[in-house]
Structures are given as C-alpha cells and as structure tokens.
C-alpha cells in the first residue's frame, strides 16, 4: 500500500506532464482513444466521489469567521471567468461550437487542481478547498444558467438538461463520498492516499479522448483555440488577484483567489460539452486542462517566492 501511495503522490505532483504527454499521443494516434468516449462521464463522477471523501467540515472554522471572503470568491468565480470567456468569443469571432466550448469552461466551478497549487503557493488552503466545494455545490444551478445566458446566441442550450447532468456527475458522487466518509471514518484513509492517482488517470483519459475525437479540427484551428485558452486563464489569474487586492485581502488570500478564479473544473467542461454539444466544443476544456496546470504551477512558484521575500 505504501508503494501505491508513493506512486500516487508522484503522479499527482507531475500531473501537468501526464496530461500534456497523453494529449500529444492522442493527437498523433486518435484511434487508440476514440473508443473511450463513453467513459468520460463515469470517470468524472469518480473524481467527484473522491472529492467527497476528502471534505471535512471542521477544516473550515477559520473560513466561517470571514464569510465575506467566501462570498467575494464565489462572485468573482462566476462573474470573471464567464465574462472574460464571452468577451474573448466576441473579440476573436469564434465559430459557434468553439464559442460554446470556451463559454462552457468559463462557467464551470473552480477545479481541485487549484487546491494543490494554493498549497504549493503558500496560500490559504482552507479557503481554497472551501471555494472549490461551494462553487461545485452551487454549480448545478449557476453553470447551466450562465451557459444558457451567454452561449445560447451561438447554439441552442437546454438549462434543464445541463442541470440534471451536473447534478448526476457532480453533486450525487460528492454526496456519496461524504456518506462513505461518515460511515467508514478512518478506514477511508487508504483510499484518500491513492486519490491523486485515480484523479490523474481519470482527467488524462478525458483529455485524451476529447483530443482524439477532435483531432482534425484541432489541427485546423489549434493555434487560435490555444491563444484563447491562454488569454482566458491569464485574465482569470490577474483579475482574481486584483479583485482580492481591491477588497483589501492579505497576500495569502490574494494568492488563493487568483488561483481559484483562474483554474476551472475543465474535466466537467469537457464532459458536458461531449454529452450536450460536440467533441469540438469539448476541445477548449481539454486544452484548458493542459494549460492551467502548467501556468498554475508557474504562478504557484512565483507566489511562493513572494511569501519567502515577505518573510525575509
């Protein structure tokens, strides 16, 4: 079990490299992954179940003392990223399927990768996990509502279909994870130790499947999509940080808000796009999954140096 836990830590720490590697392999050999499309939704549900196993109410006592920080983070998350996505689609005059894909990833809640980056950056980890949990829990309402509001100009959007999908693939697995944790107590510790391995395998499979299914379209407009994804992610980091600064938050919370706003649950975006729109609409989420782990690691390193300089 120790060897498996060690492997899980290694794979979790090198997450971005695995995503990038298998995305390239899927692009070069799409036939290897195209048959895995049906596994996207179950794999994402497995990741959400794992998140439920790790949630503990007692970790958030400090966060509860400053509820306005949480409120600010949630508003920033669901205003900045959807708004920037819509503006980028207008500015680049993206075709309908790509525009819907960019807006979809912008409307998703923050991703669990941001928690790891916040820890590496010496940010407020309890606040980070709380933001991820709260935005994920209210996502079934806000995500489909925002997609309907912003993306229906490009393609037809069904609020109820998206709502039920998120309910099944996010809220239900998290609730089952919480119940398992309550019933099994400390016995879930071994499962939690291998969660990074399960999460990485799941997200890598989702990204590789999406890339394989859209290989021709990526080859045709890959640079454009990548430019939009990089700008989207960068504006999320910048606006998240400066929002926290404008409201007078300390450095720890400024770093946390920056990473939480800029890093999305791109696995959810890819799953929703694949089920409700098309493989091409899932490409922005897949590329976002690759890029935000690379950019997040770079930014976390920079933020960590900020903390060290402040300590000196």
**Which pLDDT score is estimated for 58?**
61
Alpha-carbon distance 79 to 133, whole Å? 17
Residues 141-189: pLDDT tens digits? Answer: 888 889 888 888 777 777 777 777 777 777 777 777 777 777 776 666 6
Residue 81: per-residue pLDDT: 92
Please tell me the distance from the alpha carbon of residue 192 to that of residue 259, in angstroms, as a whole number: 23
Q: Read off the pLDDT of residues 125-140 as tens digits, 9 standing for 90 and up.
A: 778 878 877 887 788 8
What is 15-74 written as a DSSP string? HHHHHHHHHHHHHH-GGGTGGGGGGHHHHHHHHHHHHHHH--GGGGHHHHT-HHHHHHHH
Q: What is the pLDDT of residue 60?
A: 59
187 secondary structure, DSSP code: G
Check if the beta carbon of residue 306 is closer than 8 Å to that of residue 251.
yes
3-class SS of residue 110 = strand
- Position of tokens 């791109």? 266
> What pLDDT was estimated at residue 85?
93
**Domain 2-311 belongs to what topology?**
Na+/H+ antiporter like fold (1.20.1530)
Neighbour count for residue 163 (Cβ, 10 Å): 17
Q: CA 139, CA 133: separation in Å to the nearest integer?
A: 10
Name the residue with higher pLDDT: 287 or 246: 246
For the question of whether the overall pTM of this predicted structure is more than 0.95, the answer is no
pLDDT of residue 192: 66
pLDDT digits (tens, 9 = 90+) for 54-73: 666 665 565 677 788 888 98
Task: State how far the Cα of 224 lies from the Cα of 118, in Å rounded to an integer.
Answer: 29
- What is d(CA 225, CA 18) in angstroms, rounded to the nearest whole number? 21
Asked whether the beta carbons of 238 and 102 are under 8 A apart, the reply is no
Q: What CA–CA distance (Å, rounded) separates 84 from 194?
A: 35
pLDDT at 88: 94
């Amino acid at each position: 079990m120790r060897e498996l836990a060690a492997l899980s830590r290694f794979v979790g720490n090198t997450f971005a490299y695995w995503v990038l590697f298998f995305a390239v392999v899927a692009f070069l050999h799409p036939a290897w992954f195209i048959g895995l499309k049906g596994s996207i939704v179950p794999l994402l549900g497995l990741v959400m179940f794992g998140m439920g196993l790790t949630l503990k109410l007692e970790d958030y006592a400090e966060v509860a003392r400053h509820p306005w920080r949480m409120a600010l983070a949630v508003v920033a998350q669901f205003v900045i990223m959807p708004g920037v996505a819509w503006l980028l689609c207008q500015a680049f005059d993206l075709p309908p399927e790509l525009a819907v894909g960019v807006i979809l990833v912008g409307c998703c809640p923050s991703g669990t990768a941001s928690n790891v980056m916040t820890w590496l950056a010496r940010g407020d980890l309890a606040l980070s996990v709380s933001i991820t949990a709260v935005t994920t829990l209210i996502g079934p309402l806000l995500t489909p509502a925002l997609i309907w509001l912003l993306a229906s100009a490009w393609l037809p959007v069904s609020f109820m279909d998206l709502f039920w999908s998120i309910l099944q693939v996010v809220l239900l697995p998290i609730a089952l994870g919480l119940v398992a944790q309550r019933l099994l107590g400390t016995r879930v510790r071994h499962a939690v130790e291998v969660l990074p391995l399960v999460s990485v395998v799941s997200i890598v499979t989702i990204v590789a499947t999406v890339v394989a299914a859209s290989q021709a379209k990526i080859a045709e407009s890959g640079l454009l999509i990548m430019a939009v994804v990089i700008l989207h992610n960068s504006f999320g980091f910048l606006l998240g940080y400066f929002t926290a600064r404008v409201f007078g938050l300390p450095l720890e919370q400024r770093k946390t808000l920056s990473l939480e706003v800029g890093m999305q649950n791109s696995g959810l975006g890819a799953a929703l796009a694949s089920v409700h729109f098309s493989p091409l609409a899932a490409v922005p989420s897949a590329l976002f999954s690759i890029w935000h782990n690379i950019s997040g690691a770079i930014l976390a390193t920079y933020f960590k140096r900020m903390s060290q300089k402040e300590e000196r």
